[in-house]
Structure 1
Amino acid sequence: MAAPPTLPVSNSQANATSQPPIATPAFRAFVSRLSSSIRHGFSQRRPWSELVDRSAMARPDSLSEAYSRIRRNLSYFKVNYVTLLALVLAFSLLSNPFSLLVLLSLLGAWMFLYIFRPSDQPLAIFGRTFSDRETLGALVVLTIVVVFLTSVGSLLISAFMIGAAIVCAHGAFRVPEDLFLDDQEPVNSGFLSFLGGAAASAAAPAVAGRV
Protein backbone atom coordinates (compact mmCIF):
# COMPACT_ATOMS: atom_id res chain seq x y z
CA MET A 1 0.00 0.00 0.00
CA ALA A 2 1.34 3.41 -0.97
CA ALA A 3 1.93 5.89 1.81
CA PRO A 4 -0.52 8.79 1.91
CA PRO A 5 0.83 12.03 0.48
CA THR A 6 2.45 14.31 2.95
CA LEU A 7 0.42 17.45 3.56
CA PRO A 8 2.35 20.71 3.51
CA VAL A 9 2.74 22.24 6.92
CA SER A 10 2.12 25.96 7.08
CA ASN A 11 4.51 27.98 9.18
CA SER A 12 2.33 31.06 9.25
CA GLN A 13 2.11 30.83 13.03
CA ALA A 14 5.87 30.75 13.34
CA ASN A 15 6.22 33.70 10.98
CA ALA A 16 3.56 35.59 12.91
CA THR A 17 5.42 35.08 16.15
CA SER A 18 8.78 35.95 14.61
CA GLN A 19 7.59 39.24 13.14
CA PRO A 20 7.95 42.29 15.37
CA PRO A 21 4.77 43.97 16.57
CA ILE A 22 3.39 46.74 14.44
CA ALA A 23 4.95 50.00 15.52
CA THR A 24 2.88 53.02 16.47
CA PRO A 25 2.42 55.30 13.44
CA ALA A 26 4.56 58.41 13.43
CA PHE A 27 1.56 60.71 13.38
CA ARG A 28 -0.02 59.15 16.48
CA ALA A 29 3.30 59.24 18.30
CA PHE A 30 3.77 62.89 17.34
CA VAL A 31 0.27 63.87 18.53
CA SER A 32 0.72 61.97 21.80
CA ARG A 33 4.10 63.55 22.53
CA LEU A 34 2.88 67.03 21.54
CA SER A 35 -0.25 66.80 23.70
CA SER A 36 1.73 65.67 26.74
CA SER A 37 4.27 68.47 26.21
CA ILE A 38 1.54 71.08 25.86
CA ARG A 39 -0.20 69.81 28.99
CA HIS A 40 3.10 70.11 30.86
CA GLY A 41 3.57 73.65 29.53
CA PHE A 42 0.06 74.76 30.44
CA SER A 43 0.51 73.40 33.95
CA GLN A 44 2.61 76.54 34.49
CA ARG A 45 -0.42 78.76 33.84
CA ARG A 46 -1.07 81.35 36.53
CA PRO A 47 -4.56 81.96 37.97
CA TRP A 48 -6.58 84.28 35.75
CA SER A 49 -7.73 86.16 38.85
CA GLU A 50 -4.17 87.45 39.24
CA LEU A 51 -4.10 88.53 35.62
CA VAL A 52 -7.30 90.60 35.86
CA ASP A 53 -6.78 91.94 39.39
CA ARG A 54 -7.88 95.56 39.03
CA SER A 55 -6.35 96.57 42.36
CA ALA A 56 -2.89 95.79 40.95
CA MET A 57 -3.27 98.10 37.96
CA ALA A 58 -1.41 101.42 37.94
CA ARG A 59 0.04 103.69 35.31
CA PRO A 60 3.84 103.48 35.05
CA ASP A 61 5.76 106.65 35.88
CA SER A 62 8.28 106.26 33.06
CA LEU A 63 9.10 104.16 30.01
CA SER A 64 11.87 102.37 31.89
CA GLU A 65 9.40 101.35 34.60
CA ALA A 66 6.93 100.18 31.96
CA TYR A 67 9.65 98.12 30.30
CA SER A 68 10.65 96.58 33.63
CA ARG A 69 7.03 95.68 34.37
CA ILE A 70 6.57 94.11 30.94
CA ARG A 71 9.67 91.94 31.36
CA ARG A 72 8.62 90.66 34.77
CA ASN A 73 4.99 90.13 33.82
CA LEU A 74 6.04 88.28 30.67
CA SER A 75 8.07 85.88 32.78
CA TYR A 76 5.24 85.36 35.26
CA PHE A 77 2.17 85.31 32.97
CA LYS A 78 3.86 83.86 29.87
CA VAL A 79 1.42 80.94 29.53
CA ASN A 80 -1.57 83.23 30.03
CA TYR A 81 -0.21 85.68 27.48
CA VAL A 82 0.36 82.90 24.94
CA THR A 83 -3.25 81.84 25.51
CA LEU A 84 -4.43 85.39 24.83
CA LEU A 85 -2.38 85.52 21.63
CA ALA A 86 -3.84 82.18 20.55
CA LEU A 87 -7.37 83.43 21.22
CA VAL A 88 -6.81 86.58 19.16
CA LEU A 89 -5.34 84.49 16.34
CA ALA A 90 -8.18 81.98 16.52
CA PHE A 91 -10.80 84.74 16.43
CA SER A 92 -9.10 86.31 13.41
CA LEU A 93 -8.97 82.99 11.56
CA LEU A 94 -12.55 82.05 12.43
CA SER A 95 -13.71 85.40 11.10
CA ASN A 96 -11.93 84.59 7.82
CA PRO A 97 -12.82 80.98 6.95
CA PHE A 98 -10.90 81.08 3.66
CA SER A 99 -7.63 81.91 5.40
CA LEU A 100 -8.28 79.21 7.98
CA LEU A 101 -8.89 76.65 5.24
CA VAL A 102 -5.72 77.68 3.42
CA LEU A 103 -3.61 77.36 6.57
CA LEU A 104 -5.07 73.97 7.44
CA SER A 105 -4.39 72.76 3.91
CA LEU A 106 -0.81 74.01 4.09
CA LEU A 107 -0.29 72.32 7.47
CA GLY A 108 -1.76 69.08 6.14
CA ALA A 109 0.54 69.21 3.11
CA TRP A 110 3.62 69.56 5.34
CA MET A 111 2.54 66.79 7.68
CA PHE A 112 1.41 64.13 5.21
CA LEU A 113 3.63 64.90 2.20
CA TYR A 114 6.92 65.36 4.03
CA ILE A 115 7.09 64.97 7.82
CA PHE A 116 5.11 61.75 8.31
CA ARG A 117 5.64 60.22 4.88
CA PRO A 118 8.06 57.25 5.08
CA SER A 119 11.45 58.25 3.69
CA ASP A 120 11.70 55.02 1.67
CA GLN A 121 8.48 55.78 -0.21
CA PRO A 122 9.00 58.57 -2.75
CA LEU A 123 6.11 60.89 -3.52
CA ALA A 124 4.37 60.11 -6.82
CA ILE A 125 1.91 62.59 -8.35
CA PHE A 126 0.38 62.19 -11.82
CA GLY A 127 2.85 59.45 -12.66
CA ARG A 128 5.92 61.49 -11.69
CA THR A 129 8.13 60.63 -8.72
CA PHE A 130 9.49 63.41 -6.53
CA SER A 131 12.48 63.05 -4.22
CA ASP A 132 12.55 64.33 -0.65
CA ARG A 133 14.56 67.37 -1.71
CA GLU A 134 12.12 68.26 -4.47
CA THR A 135 9.16 67.79 -2.12
CA LEU A 136 10.77 69.98 0.54
CA GLY A 137 11.56 72.70 -2.01
CA ALA A 138 8.01 72.69 -3.33
CA LEU A 139 6.57 72.94 0.18
CA VAL A 140 8.89 75.82 1.07
CA VAL A 141 7.90 77.72 -2.07
CA LEU A 142 4.23 77.03 -1.40
CA THR A 143 4.58 78.28 2.19
CA ILE A 144 6.26 81.51 1.03
CA VAL A 145 3.55 82.12 -1.53
CA VAL A 146 0.74 81.47 0.94
CA VAL A 147 2.21 83.53 3.81
CA PHE A 148 3.68 86.49 1.93
CA LEU A 149 1.72 86.77 -1.32
CA THR A 150 -1.83 86.25 -0.08
CA SER A 151 -4.11 87.80 2.53
CA VAL A 152 -3.20 85.02 4.96
CA GLY A 153 0.11 86.66 5.84
CA SER A 154 -1.41 90.07 6.50
CA LEU A 155 -4.11 88.43 8.64
CA LEU A 156 -1.53 86.59 10.76
CA ILE A 157 0.63 89.69 11.18
CA SER A 158 -2.35 91.84 12.12
CA ALA A 159 -3.60 89.30 14.65
CA PHE A 160 -0.14 88.95 16.18
CA MET A 161 0.30 92.73 16.43
CA ILE A 162 -3.10 93.13 18.11
CA GLY A 163 -2.31 90.34 20.56
CA ALA A 164 1.14 91.75 21.27
CA ALA A 165 -0.35 95.21 21.89
CA ILE A 166 -2.81 93.74 24.41
CA VAL A 167 -0.02 91.84 26.17
CA CYS A 168 2.30 94.84 26.32
CA ALA A 169 -0.46 97.14 27.56
CA HIS A 170 -1.37 94.75 30.34
CA GLY A 171 2.27 94.13 31.22
CA ALA A 172 2.98 97.86 31.46
CA PHE A 173 -0.01 98.61 33.72
CA ARG A 174 0.14 95.47 35.90
CA VAL A 175 2.18 96.21 39.03
CA PRO A 176 4.37 93.13 39.58
CA GLU A 177 5.36 93.76 43.21
CA ASP A 178 3.00 91.04 44.47
CA LEU A 179 4.26 88.45 41.99
CA PHE A 180 6.82 85.89 43.16
CA LEU A 181 8.69 83.97 40.49
CA ASP A 182 9.84 80.45 41.21
CA ASP A 183 13.46 80.14 42.22
CA GLN A 184 14.19 77.78 39.36
CA GLU A 185 12.60 80.12 36.80
CA PRO A 186 14.86 82.98 35.66
CA VAL A 187 13.31 86.39 35.22
CA ASN A 188 14.65 86.77 31.67
CA SER A 189 13.28 83.44 30.46
CA GLY A 190 11.96 83.50 26.93
CA PHE A 191 8.35 84.39 26.25
CA LEU A 192 7.78 81.26 24.17
CA SER A 193 10.40 79.08 25.85
CA PHE A 194 7.96 76.47 27.14
CA LEU A 195 6.15 76.35 23.80
CA GLY A 196 9.38 76.03 21.85
CA GLY A 197 10.57 73.23 24.09
CA ALA A 198 7.30 71.38 23.69
CA ALA A 199 7.35 71.69 19.92
CA ALA A 200 11.00 70.63 19.71
CA SER A 201 10.53 67.56 21.87
CA ALA A 202 7.41 66.56 19.96
CA ALA A 203 8.86 67.06 16.48
CA ALA A 204 12.23 65.44 17.21
CA PRO A 205 11.20 61.85 16.34
CA ALA A 206 9.51 62.90 13.08
CA VAL A 207 12.44 65.06 11.99
CA ALA A 208 14.93 62.34 12.90
CA GLY A 209 13.06 59.93 10.65
CA ARG A 210 13.68 62.19 7.63
CA VAL A 211 17.46 62.28 8.16
Structure 2
Amino acid sequence: MASPPPTLPISNQQGAQSQPPIATPAFRMFISRLSSSIREGFSQRRPWSEVVDRSSFSRPDSLSDAFSRIRKNLPYFKVNYVATVSLVLALSLLTHPFSLLVLLGLLGAWMFLYLFRPSDQPLVIFGRTFSDRETLLALVVTTIVVVFMTSVGSLLTSALMIGVGIVCVHGAFKVPDDLFLDDQEPASTGLLSFLGGSATSAASAVAGRV
Protein backbone atom coordinates (compact mmCIF):
# COMPACT_ATOMS: atom_id res chain seq x y z
CA MET A 1 0.00 0.00 0.00
CA ALA A 2 1.47 3.32 -1.08
CA SER A 3 2.17 5.80 1.68
CA PRO A 4 0.48 9.23 1.40
CA PRO A 5 2.65 12.02 -0.04
CA PRO A 6 4.44 14.13 2.56
CA THR A 7 2.70 17.30 3.60
CA LEU A 8 4.50 20.37 2.33
CA PRO A 9 4.88 23.25 4.82
CA ILE A 10 2.80 26.27 3.92
CA SER A 11 4.20 29.62 4.88
CA ASN A 12 1.76 32.19 6.20
CA GLN A 13 2.52 34.90 3.67
CA GLN A 14 -0.67 36.77 4.48
CA GLY A 15 0.34 37.08 8.13
CA ALA A 16 3.76 38.34 7.10
CA GLN A 17 2.24 40.93 4.81
CA SER A 18 -0.26 42.02 7.43
CA GLN A 19 2.49 43.08 9.80
CA PRO A 20 1.69 46.63 10.89
CA PRO A 21 4.01 49.18 9.29
CA ILE A 22 4.50 50.89 12.65
CA ALA A 23 6.62 47.95 13.89
CA THR A 24 9.80 49.36 12.38
CA PRO A 25 13.29 49.64 13.88
CA ALA A 26 12.99 53.44 13.89
CA PHE A 27 9.80 53.28 15.97
CA ARG A 28 11.29 50.75 18.38
CA MET A 29 14.39 52.95 18.76
CA PHE A 30 12.14 55.97 19.38
CA ILE A 31 10.19 54.16 22.11
CA SER A 32 13.41 52.86 23.68
CA ARG A 33 14.98 56.32 23.74
CA LEU A 34 11.77 57.82 25.10
CA SER A 35 11.50 55.37 28.00
CA SER A 36 15.19 55.56 28.91
CA SER A 37 15.20 59.37 28.73
CA ILE A 38 12.10 59.62 30.91
CA ARG A 39 13.64 57.30 33.51
CA GLU A 40 16.92 59.22 33.45
CA GLY A 41 15.13 62.55 33.59
CA PHE A 42 12.99 61.66 36.58
CA SER A 43 16.03 60.27 38.37
CA GLN A 44 17.46 63.83 38.27
CA ARG A 45 14.42 65.50 39.80
CA ARG A 46 14.77 67.32 43.09
CA PRO A 47 12.77 66.17 46.13
CA TRP A 48 9.34 67.76 46.08
CA SER A 49 9.75 68.57 49.78
CA GLU A 50 12.61 70.84 48.72
CA VAL A 51 10.51 72.40 45.97
CA VAL A 52 7.69 73.37 48.34
CA ASP A 53 9.80 74.16 51.41
CA ARG A 54 8.05 77.24 52.76
CA SER A 55 11.05 78.37 54.79
CA SER A 56 13.02 79.09 51.61
CA PHE A 57 10.42 81.42 50.08
CA SER A 58 10.69 85.18 50.30
CA ARG A 59 9.58 88.16 48.31
CA PRO A 60 12.23 89.36 45.81
CA ASP A 61 13.65 92.81 46.51
CA SER A 62 13.32 93.95 42.91
CA LEU A 63 12.44 92.82 39.43
CA SER A 64 16.11 92.15 38.66
CA ASP A 65 16.34 90.03 41.81
CA ALA A 66 13.30 88.03 40.66
CA PHE A 67 14.88 87.41 37.25
CA SER A 68 18.14 86.41 38.91
CA ARG A 69 16.35 83.85 41.10
CA ILE A 70 14.47 82.45 38.11
CA ARG A 71 17.71 82.12 36.13
CA LYS A 72 19.33 80.21 39.03
CA ASN A 73 16.34 78.03 39.90
CA LEU A 74 15.52 76.96 36.35
CA PRO A 75 18.55 74.67 35.84
CA TYR A 76 18.31 73.33 39.40
CA PHE A 77 14.60 72.43 39.34
CA LYS A 78 14.36 71.87 35.56
CA VAL A 79 12.89 68.36 35.80
CA ASN A 80 10.38 69.42 38.45
CA TYR A 81 9.37 72.41 36.33
CA VAL A 82 8.91 70.23 33.23
CA ALA A 83 6.79 67.84 35.30
CA THR A 84 4.71 70.77 36.60
CA VAL A 85 4.00 72.15 33.12
CA SER A 86 3.23 68.63 31.86
CA LEU A 87 0.82 68.09 34.75
CA VAL A 88 -1.00 71.33 33.95
CA LEU A 89 -1.26 70.29 30.29
CA ALA A 90 -2.49 66.82 31.25
CA LEU A 91 -5.15 68.18 33.61
CA SER A 92 -6.32 70.65 30.98
CA LEU A 93 -6.65 67.91 28.37
CA LEU A 94 -8.34 65.51 30.78
CA THR A 95 -10.99 68.11 31.49
CA HIS A 96 -11.53 68.48 27.74
CA PRO A 97 -11.77 64.88 26.41
CA PHE A 98 -12.59 65.98 22.86
CA SER A 99 -9.38 68.00 22.58
CA LEU A 100 -7.42 65.08 24.02
CA LEU A 101 -8.85 62.67 21.44
CA VAL A 102 -8.14 65.14 18.63
CA LEU A 103 -4.49 65.53 19.70
CA LEU A 104 -4.03 61.77 20.11
CA GLY A 105 -5.49 61.22 16.66
CA LEU A 106 -3.22 63.88 15.18
CA LEU A 107 -0.16 62.37 16.86
CA GLY A 108 -1.13 58.89 15.69
CA ALA A 109 -1.59 60.15 12.13
CA TRP A 110 1.92 61.64 12.08
CA MET A 111 3.47 58.49 13.53
CA PHE A 112 1.59 55.85 11.53
CA LEU A 113 1.20 57.66 8.22
CA TYR A 114 4.54 59.46 7.91
CA LEU A 115 7.32 59.44 10.52
CA PHE A 116 7.59 55.70 11.13
CA ARG A 117 6.00 54.33 7.98
CA PRO A 118 8.60 52.49 5.85
CA SER A 119 9.46 54.56 2.81
CA ASP A 120 9.11 51.52 0.53
CA GLN A 121 5.45 51.09 1.51
CA PRO A 122 3.29 53.71 -0.23
CA LEU A 123 0.24 55.05 1.52
CA VAL A 124 -2.94 53.74 -0.11
CA ILE A 125 -6.33 55.10 1.00
CA PHE A 126 -9.56 54.12 -0.80
CA GLY A 127 -7.56 52.68 -3.67
CA ARG A 128 -5.53 55.87 -4.24
CA THR A 129 -1.79 55.96 -3.70
CA PHE A 130 -0.41 59.07 -2.00
CA SER A 131 3.20 60.16 -2.33
CA ASP A 132 5.28 61.27 0.64
CA ARG A 133 4.94 64.91 -0.38
CA GLU A 134 1.15 64.66 -0.58
CA THR A 135 1.02 62.89 2.79
CA LEU A 136 3.27 65.51 4.41
CA LEU A 137 1.23 68.37 2.95
CA ALA A 138 -2.03 66.84 4.18
CA LEU A 139 -0.62 66.31 7.69
CA VAL A 140 0.79 69.84 7.87
CA VAL A 141 -2.51 71.39 6.75
CA THR A 142 -4.44 69.21 9.22
CA THR A 143 -2.09 70.20 12.05
CA ILE A 144 -2.46 73.91 11.25
CA VAL A 145 -6.24 73.63 11.15
CA VAL A 146 -6.38 71.68 14.43
CA VAL A 147 -3.92 73.87 16.36
CA PHE A 148 -4.77 77.34 15.07
CA MET A 149 -8.40 77.14 13.96
CA THR A 150 -10.04 75.12 16.73
CA SER A 151 -10.37 75.32 20.49
CA VAL A 152 -7.46 72.87 20.86
CA GLY A 153 -4.90 75.59 20.16
CA SER A 154 -6.39 78.01 22.69
CA LEU A 155 -6.56 75.22 25.26
CA LEU A 156 -2.88 74.34 24.81
CA THR A 157 -1.86 78.00 24.87
CA SER A 158 -3.81 78.66 28.07
CA ALA A 159 -2.41 75.56 29.78
CA LEU A 160 1.15 76.43 28.77
CA MET A 161 0.74 79.99 30.02
CA ILE A 162 -0.59 78.75 33.37
CA GLY A 163 2.24 76.22 33.70
CA VAL A 164 4.94 78.74 32.79
CA GLY A 165 3.35 81.25 35.15
CA ILE A 166 3.53 78.78 38.04
CA VAL A 167 7.17 78.06 37.23
CA CYS A 168 8.07 81.76 37.05
CA VAL A 169 6.31 82.57 40.32
CA HIS A 170 8.04 79.68 42.09
CA GLY A 171 11.42 80.60 40.63
CA ALA A 172 11.02 84.26 41.61
CA PHE A 173 10.02 83.59 45.23
CA LYS A 174 12.30 80.58 45.85
CA VAL A 175 15.59 81.66 47.44
CA PRO A 176 18.34 79.69 45.64
CA ASP A 177 20.77 79.71 48.61
CA ASP A 178 23.48 78.76 46.08
CA LEU A 179 22.10 75.21 45.96
CA PHE A 180 22.31 75.32 42.18
CA LEU A 181 26.14 75.40 42.48
CA ASP A 182 26.34 72.20 44.52
CA ASP A 183 25.26 69.82 41.80
CA GLN A 184 25.39 71.51 38.44
CA GLU A 185 24.48 69.34 35.48
CA PRO A 186 24.59 70.03 31.76
CA ALA A 187 21.36 71.53 30.49
CA SER A 188 21.21 68.91 27.73
CA THR A 189 20.81 65.80 29.87
CA GLY A 190 17.96 63.51 30.68
CA LEU A 191 14.43 64.41 29.73
CA LEU A 192 15.36 67.77 28.18
CA SER A 193 18.00 66.20 25.96
CA PHE A 194 15.42 63.80 24.58
CA LEU A 195 13.12 66.67 23.68
CA GLY A 196 15.86 68.22 21.59
CA GLY A 197 16.97 64.87 20.19
CA SER A 198 13.48 63.81 19.23
CA ALA A 199 12.87 67.13 17.50
CA THR A 200 16.10 66.71 15.55
CA SER A 201 15.21 63.12 14.64
CA ALA A 202 11.75 64.13 13.46
CA ALA A 203 13.19 66.97 11.40
CA SER A 204 15.72 64.59 9.86
CA ALA A 205 12.98 62.10 9.02
CA VAL A 206 10.91 64.78 7.33
CA ALA A 207 13.92 66.14 5.42
CA GLY A 208 14.85 62.64 4.28
CA ARG A 209 11.40 62.00 2.82
CA VAL A 210 10.94 65.32 1.04
Do the two structures share a fold, i.e. TM-score over 0.5?
yes
Q: Match of 2:58, SS?
A: coil
SS of alignment partner, residue 58 of structure 1 = coil
Match in the other structure for 2:172: 172
In the alignment, structure 2 segments of 5+ residues that lack a partner are 11-22
Counterpart in the other structure of 2:135: 135
* 2:92 counterpart of 1:96: no
Change (3 A) 1:181 1:43: farther
Indicate how the Cα distance of structure 1 residues 125 and 184 shifts in structure 2: closer, same or farther if over 3 A, else same.
same
**Cα gap change, 1:66/1:108 in structure 2, threshold over 3 Å: closer, same or farther?**
same
Contact 1:146/1:153 (<8 A) preserved: yes
Question: How many equivalent residue pairs?
Answer: 189
Contact 1:123 1:129 in 2 (8 A): yes
2:177 counterpart SS class: helix
Return the alpha-carbon distance in structure 2 between the equivalents of residues 184 and 89 of structure 1. Answer: 28
Partners of 1:63 and 1:96 lie apart in 2 by 36
Q: Do structure 1's residue 109 and structure 2's residue 109 form an aligned pair?
A: yes
Match of 2:75 in 1: 75
Q: Is the 8 A contact 1:41 1:198 kept in 2?
A: no
Distance between the aligned counterparts of 1:67 and 1:182, measured in 2? 20
Q: Is the 8 A contact 1:30 1:206 kept in 2?
A: no
SS at match of 1:176: coil
Structure 2 SS opposite 1:61: coil
What's the offset of the Cα at 1:206? 7.1
Alpha carbons 2:75, 2:180 under 8 Å: kept: no
Q: Report the residue type matching 2:62 in the other structure.
A: S
Q: Once structures 1 and 2 are overlaid, which stretch shifts more, 25-34 or 101-110? A: 25-34
Cα displacement string for residues 78-122 of structure 1 (whole angstroms, at most 9, x for unaligned residues): 100000000000000000000000000000000000011110111
Does residue 199 in structure 1 map to residue 195 in structure 2? yes
User: In structure 1, how many angstroms separate the alpha carbons of the residues matched to 2:149 and 2:56?
Assistant: 43
- Paired residue for 2:31? 31
CA contact (8 A) 1:34 1:199 kept: no
Moved more, 195-204 or 121-130: 195-204
Superposition TM-score, scaled by structure 2 size: 0.80
| Aligned-CA RMSD value | 2.7
> More displaced, 142-151 or 37-46?
37-46
Q: Distance in 1 between matches of 2:122 and 2:68?
A: 53
Q: Which residue of 2 aligns with 1:54?
A: 54
Report the Cα offset of residue 180 of structure 1: 3.4
Cα separation, partners in 2 of 1:29 and 1:194, compared to 1, 3 Å: closer
Alignment partner, residue 45 of structure 1: 45
Distance 1:129 1:28, change over 3 A: same
* Conservation of the 8 A alpha-carbon contact between 1:116 and 1:206: no
Say which one has the larger Rg: 1
In structure 2, give the amino acid aligned to 1:70. Answer: I
- 1:133 deviation in Å? 1.1
Provide the identity percentage: 71
Question: Is the Cα contact below 8 Å between 1:57 and 1:174 reproduced in 2?
Answer: yes
Match of 1:15 in 2: none
User: Taking structure 1 as reference, are residues 81 and 137 closer, same or farther at Cα in structure 2, changes over 3 Å only?
Assistant: same
Deviation readout 1:155-181 (Å, 9 max, x if unpaired): 000000001111111110000015133
